[in-house]
Amino acid sequence: MSYSKITLEKKDDNIYYLGFGKYEDKSMNVIYEQTLKEIDMAMDEVALDKEAKGLILFSYKDNCFFAGMDISVIEGLSSEAQAIEGCEAGHAIFNKLEDLKIPTIALVDGTCLGGGLEMILACDKIVASNNSKTAIGLPEVMIGVLPGFGGTYRLPKRVGLTKAMDMILTGRQIRHKKALKMGLVDYVVPKERLMTLGKKYLFEKKVNKKSFKESLTDSVMNSFLTRKLIFQKAREKVLKTTKGFYPAPLKILDHLESSFGDKRARYLAKEAKAFGELSQTKQSKNLQHVFFLHDGSKKLRDGANPSVVSRGAVLGAGTMGGGIAWLFAKNNQAPIMKDISKEGLELGLKQSSSVFKKALKRRRMSKDDFERLQRSISAQLDYNGFKAVDLVIEAVVENMNVKKAVFKELEGEVTKNCILTSNTSSLSIEQMATALEDSSRFAGLHFFNPVNKMPLVEIIKHKNVSDETIDTLYKWTLKVGKTPVVVNDCPGFLVNRILAPFLNEAAFLMEEGVSIKDLDKAAVNFGMPMGPARLMDEVGIDVCSHVGEIMEEGLGERAKASKLSDKCVQAQLLGKKNQKGFYLYDEAGKQLDVNPKVQELLPSKKVKMDEVEIQKRLILPMINEAASILDEGIVDNPGDVDLGLIFGIGFPPFRGGLLKYADSEGLDRILESIKGFSESVSDKRYGPMPYLEKLVSEGKTFYN
Ligand SMILES: NC(=O)c1ccc[n+]([C@@H]2O[C@H](COP(=O)([O-])OP(=O)(O)OC[C@H]3O[C@@H](n4cnc5c(N)ncnc54)[C@H](O)[C@@H]3O)[C@@H](O)[C@H]2O)c1
């Protein structure tokens, strides 16, 4: 038999070895349709061999068993029936594996996700390596579906329904220690002994009859009434987290409950049906779109020529500097953190250690690692050691003159190959570049606050920057686990330029008499992580006021800023940082009620506006601004806008991103509404962007 995706070899001892990833020159194994076909043939071949004594599944790849099914296959499913057919084909193959009369064992080193896990759940035993990269899970819920190759049937059998439910609902990835404890794997062994010990374990009797320790919840699941109650509670929890925006978790619960106790054929038929239905939902299609955007962002451009960053430095040890130093340290790139004041250094160290402490507390880090990484940050007041640094990230105060002076000084302290960047959130990168003798190695590198939580990093170009600088920054950003987006210089760059009209329009709505609570509720009901008033409090109303000024200055009358934030700043209402913003906050930062002092700055007569109307007023100006961003070539494509907003401000992923949402709503309708608003306001802030008008007149969408 000839195979192109797998290898199947029978050795002298009559043991079959089924290997994955030998022929592909990629770091990750993915299950393609052809892989499944070949596994199917392999199962027939093994089943027919009367001499076969056992079967070992393994991967040729370092750190990866399987990353899951090829998502473009799921994307290509155009009907429920087609999706069901696909699941049935997968079921038939993995059933063959499960039904083999010989012992079977899977050897897992590294990632084992989705279809990869569903496959090995059909084996008698699973051995995992003690590799820190070993991560096992069923992430299908993240693209709005459920595991459709038997995962919902076999995982509960292996680890119990309670734990399986948690894994399937959250997509959580399980590390080797926990996997062993919960019975997800049967053995954990050193990576280098995986094959030798795996072969030995193949013929050993299973230690536990039941691979999982039954939890209390599992033991009462057999009672119909208790089970009903448990699922009811789970539904309530899901609704609280997803606010009902995501259909998959609820469908998963329905399926797990209704299939409880069913025999394999019936259970799997129900799984296929549930998968088929979910695969065709708008939310799943949108989440798949986001998956592809994110996946695409992980690839360097063709012909990229990045240099290696081994050591970094941060200038300015404030809120951002401390966070960036943490990022370097966490990635074993022992950073230098320089400030002009001791107090600054202390603050920066406190900032980074608070994140490490949380990881320690949650047992995501050992005490040794905590101490080693925290110590690896060298906090200093001079440029000692800067000659050994490959990347400097400047995060000093937001002042062009100060930053230019800092860069001038810095140029004499580093080697000529060192890349220099600024974390400015609002100053012109083009202008800052003029301070440097060699600006080809300079760019903007804009992190979001807090650095440990916010995934997006904007890499900002200017006209003299070299491709090598951008490539290096892109690669480094990926290496430290962030999502990069390359942006040309403009006021607010990508994310803040689009966020600004959202916040600005919110302020105008408040001035029109819409209540703060109604406003925030409308945004949250649209799917935003928080409403605009709450967001302004988080960012700082003074910062918002400053950004508003910059936008108006840079973009003209169409970005005319509301005066509300200025008034708040004058009244010392700065947001969460001084516990007084649009809302009040307690000492611990918990949001209390709306701040009565803000009400004094707003009209006493309240206007009741329809929620959909509020949502339009908030979202359409963002779409309008995004159109001008594309027109000016600030980013290359609509995908960058969507990626930036999802990872930068948490624009709801189930909507696929701002421009995907705009496309699905119909650009002609959106343009019509924008024109309507434009006519209703006395200034020029809703003027429809020519690019949007052009798309509509040509019958096109942002993506097409
Ligand atoms: N805070 C945010 O939410 C946020 C988000 C993204 C970007 N940024 C940007 O990051 C930068 C820093 O912001 P922050 O909020 O961390 O400020 P911060 O005020 O908390 O910290 C600034 C630090 O820079 C130090 N400093 C001043 N002059 C210096 C010099 N010449 N050399 C070395 N250190 C010097 C100060 O002592 C202080 O410790 C700004 O450009 C800001 O726009 C901030």
Question: What CATH number does residue 118 fall under?
Answer: 3.90.226.10
Please report the atom of ligand 1 found closest to the CA of residue 317.
39
Residue nearest to atom 31 of ligand 1 (CA): 406
What CATH number is attached to the domain comprising 539? 1.10.1040.50
Nearest to 489 by CA among 457, 456, 463: 463
Nearest to 617 by CA among 491, 518, 538: 518
Residue nearest to atom 9 of ligand 1 (CA): 424
Nearest to 36 by CA among 82, 73, 75: 73
Mean pLDDT over 405-413 rounds to 97
pLDDT computed for residue 214 by the predictor: 65
The 3-state secondary structure of 75-115, one letter per residue:
HCCCCHHHHHHHHHHHHHHHHHHHHCCCCEEEEECCEEECH
Residue nearest to atom 10 of ligand 1 (CA): 395
pLDDT tens-digit readout, 118-146: 999 999 999 999 999 999 999 999 999 99
Q: Where residue 1 falls among pLDDT bands split at 50, 70, 90?
A: confident
What is the Å distance from ligand 1's center to 322 Cα?
9
Structure tokens at 576: 């969460």
Among 444, 464, 490, the domain boundary falls at: 490
Residue nearest to atom 28 of ligand 1 (CA): 396
Amino acid at 393: I
Mean pLDDT over 154-180 rounds to 96
Does residue 641 lie in a domain region?
no
What is the Å distance from ligand 1's center to 335 Cα?
17
Note whether 91 and 125 are same-domain residues: yes
What CATH number is attached to the domain comprising 372? 3.40.50.720
pLDDT computed for residue 252 by the predictor: 98
Note whether 52 and 103 are same-domain residues: yes
Residue nearest to atom 25 of ligand 1 (CA): 316
Residue nearest to atom 11 of ligand 1 (CA): 395
Does residue 298 lie in a domain region?
no
8 Å CB contact between 143 and 74: yes
How many domains does the structure of the chain reveal?
A: 3
Best mutation site among 314, 319, 421 for ligand 1, i.e. most ligand atoms within 8 A of its Cβ?
Answer: 319
pLDDT tens-digit readout, 288-341: 999 999 999 999 988 899 999 999 999 999 989 999 999 999 999 999 999 999
Give the separation between CA 134 and CA 121, rounded to whole angstroms.
Answer: 16
Among 444, 473, 490, the domain boundary falls at: 490
Structure tokens at 297: 């962002």
The pLDDT > 90 percentage for the chain reads: 92
Count other C-beta atoms under 10 Å from residue 587's C-beta: 6
Note whether 471 and 574 are same-domain residues: no
What is the Å distance from ligand 1's center to 470 Cα?
23
Asked whether the predicted pLDDT for residue 355 surpasses 90, the reply is: yes
SS3 state of residue 698: coil
pLDDT tens-digit readout, 612-623: 999 999 999 999
Note whether 458 and 561 are same-domain residues: no
Note whether 462 and 476 are same-domain residues: yes
Please report the atom of ligand 1 found closest to the CA of residue 539.
3
Give the separation between CA 208 and CA 226, rounded to whole angstroms.
Answer: 27
Structure tokens at 558: 């169409």
Give the separation between CA 476 and CA 498, rounded to whole angstroms.
Answer: 26
pLDDT computed for residue 352 by the predictor: 94
pLDDT tens-digit readout, 24-74: 888 899 999 999 999 999 999 999 999 999 999 999 999 999 999 999 999
pLDDT computed for residue 281 by the predictor: 98
Please report the atom of ligand 1 found closest to the CA of residue 315.
33
What is the Å distance from ligand 1's center to 344 Cα?
10
Note whether 233 and 317 are same-domain residues: no
Count other C-beta atoms under 10 Å from residue 613's C-beta: 13
Mean pLDDT over 101-120 rounds to 98
Among 444, 460, 490, the domain boundary falls at: 490
Does residue 619 lie in a domain region?
yes
Best mutation site among 336, 343, 397 for ligand 1, i.e. most ligand atoms within 8 A of its Cβ?
Answer: 397
Amino acid at 130: N
Range of the domain at 19: 6-280
Note whether 57 and 112 are same-domain residues: yes
- Sequence-distant (6+) residues with CB within 8 A of 561 are 504, 545, 548, 549, 551, 552
Please report the atom of ligand 1 found closest to the CA of residue 397.
22
Note whether 482 and 624 are same-domain residues: no
Asked whether the predicted pLDDT for residue 212 surpasses 60, the reply is: no
Best mutation site among 324, 337, 339, 459 for ligand 1, i.e. most ligand atoms within 8 A of its Cβ?
Answer: 339
Does residue 302 lie in a domain region?
no
8 Å CB contact between 280 and 251: no
Does residue 142 lie in a domain region?
yes
Does residue 294 lie in a domain region?
no
From the list 257, 458, 505, 552, the catalytic residue is: 458
Residue nearest to atom 3 of ligand 1 (CA): 449
Asked whether the predicted pLDDT for residue 164 surpasses 50, the reply is: yes
Please report the atom of ligand 1 found closest to the CA of residue 447.
6
Whether 343 is catalytic is: no
Give the separation between CA 129 and CA 110, rounded to whole angstroms.
Answer: 8
Residue where the block lists tokens 């809703």: 686
Note whether 39 and 107 are same-domain residues: yes
Note whether 369 and 452 are same-domain residues: yes
What is the Å distance from ligand 1's center to 625 Cα?
28
Residues having CB closer than 6 A to ligand 1 are 315-321, 338-341, 344, 395-398, 402, 406, 423-425, 447-449
Does residue 659 lie in a domain region?
no
Asked whether the predicted pLDDT for residue 209 surpasses 50, the reply is: no
pLDDT computed for residue 589 by the predictor: 93
Residues in the chain: 704
Please report the atom of ligand 1 found closest to the CA of residue 322.
16
What is the Å distance from ligand 1's center to 374 Cα?
21
Give the separation between CA 622 and CA 328, rounded to whole angstroms.
Answer: 33
Note whether 473 and 550 are same-domain residues: no
What is the Å distance from ligand 1's center to 604 Cα?
38
Does residue 652 lie in a domain region?
no
What is the Å distance from ligand 1's center to 395 Cα?
4
Best mutation site among 396, 400, 451, 541 for ligand 1, i.e. most ligand atoms within 8 A of its Cβ?
Answer: 396
Note whether 480 and 560 are same-domain residues: no
Residue nearest to atom 33 of ligand 1 (CA): 339
Mean pLDDT over 235-240 rounds to 96
- Burial code of 164-179, b = ≥16 C-beta within 10 A, e = fewer? bbebbbebbbbbbeeb
Mean pLDDT of the chain: 95
What is the Å distance from ligand 1's center to 394 Cα?
8
pLDDT computed for residue 213 by the predictor: 60
List own/partner pairs for 511-517 with CB under 8 A and 24 or more apart: 511/562, 511/564, 511/602, 511/603, 512/603, 512/607, 513/602, 513/603, 513/605, 513/606, 513/607, 514/606, 514/607, 514/609, 514/614, 515/594, 515/606, 516/582, 516/583, 516/594, 516/598, 517/594
The pLDDT > 70 percentage for the chain reads: 98
